[in-house]
Amino acid sequence: MAARTAPEDFSALVQSRRSVRDFLPTPVPPEVLDAILSDANAAPSWSNTQPYRVAVASGAIRDRLQSALTSRFDQGMAAQRGGWLGKLKLLATPGAMPDGDYKVNLEYPEDLQPQRRATGHALYELLHIGRKDQAAREQQMRRNFEFFGAPTALFIFVHSGLKEFSALDAGIFAQTLMLSAHARGLGTCAQGALATWAGPVREAFAVPSHYKLLCGISLGYPSDHPINTFNPGRTTPQSWTLPAR
Ligand SMILES: Cc1cc2nc3c(=O)[nH]c(=O)nc-3n(C[C@H](O)[C@H](O)[C@H](O)COP(=O)(O)O)c2cc1C
């Protein structure tokens, strides 16, 4: 099996991929979508089981999901602003409470907080959103549920029986898909946020009950909005390679 990509081309592709958070409405041509899914299908997996399922939402289904998810997001935000009464109202509203298969709004471990905070602050700074501008922050958060304007949203489900290993496989699958999209001039954003509510996605697609919603990916052509220049950078490999004892 000969490698046919020059290492410098591979590095250029991998290192120039960035999360895209503003898309043109231009639809993804079916043959381009097929090619991307076909590349993702080449990803390795645990015993070649491919323990994931993907719901591809375009057109009317995508629009319906955007309505369902943004309305849930709006209800959640209104509840937070409404204090205990607002929260009670949310509890009484069918479907409004997060019903994801996994808890998305995790408490971040203390040692991971600095990097998370730095990334969030840098993004808001780029958008000129102040630290106390709750309304603008909320609006930006809401964009997740509009798929940042992307014409296609993918929802990735993993087999519950393989536990962490199906999530590992789904991660490899997702990165393969995102790199294929990038190579073809499209952009992507992996979104944990899209696993907050599973109900609307399960209503729209025939998802077997043992497949659990792990995350989403927005897919489309990047716009020239400044948000797409955001590069949070990385630590150095020395910061995560372990010293020998
Ligand atoms: C599993 C996963 C979940 C993510 N969830 C979100 C999300 O909900 N919203 C968002 O705007 N970005 C999300 N991101 C994008 C990350 O913030 C981004 O990958 C990281 O900051 C590095 O930036 P880059 O992708 O531009 O290199 C997610 C990325 C991954 C891999």
Residue with tokens 């203390």: 110
Residues with CB under 6 A from ligand 1: 18-19, 21, 119, 144, 189-193, 215, 232
Out of 13, 15, 17, 19, mutate this one to test ligand 1's pocket (max ligand atoms within 8 Å of CB): namely 19
Mean pLDDT of the chain: 95
Q: How far apart are CA 31 and CA 47, in angstroms?
A: 29
* Alpha helices per DSSP H over the chain: 7-16, 30-40, 59-81, 83-92, 113-126, 134-142, 164-183, 199-204, 237-240
CA-based end-to-end distance of the chain = 37
In terms of residues, how long is the chain? 245
> Which residue has its alpha carbon closest to ligand 1 atom 12?
191
In this structure, CATH architecture of domain 19-46+53-229: 3-Layer(aba) Sandwich (3.40)
Span 90-134, pLDDT tens digits: 788 877 889 999 999 889 999 999 999 999 999 999 999 999 999
Span 124-156, pLDDT tens digits: 999 999 999 999 999 999 999 999 999 999 999
In the reported structure, the alpha carbon of residue 19 is separated from the centroid of ligand 1 by a whole-number distance in angstroms of 6
Band of pLDDT at residue 83, cut at 50, 70 and 90: confident
Residue with tokens 């789904």: 170
Please determine, for residue 237, whether its predicted confidence score (pLDDT) is greater than 80.
Answer: yes
Span 206-231, pLDDT tens digits: 999 999 999 999 999 999 999 999 99
Please determine, for residue 54, whether its predicted confidence score (pLDDT) is greater than 80.
Answer: yes
Out of 108, 121, 166, 189, mutate this one to test ligand 1's pocket (max ligand atoms within 8 Å of CB): namely 189
Band of pLDDT at residue 84, cut at 50, 70 and 90: confident
pLDDT at 127: 97
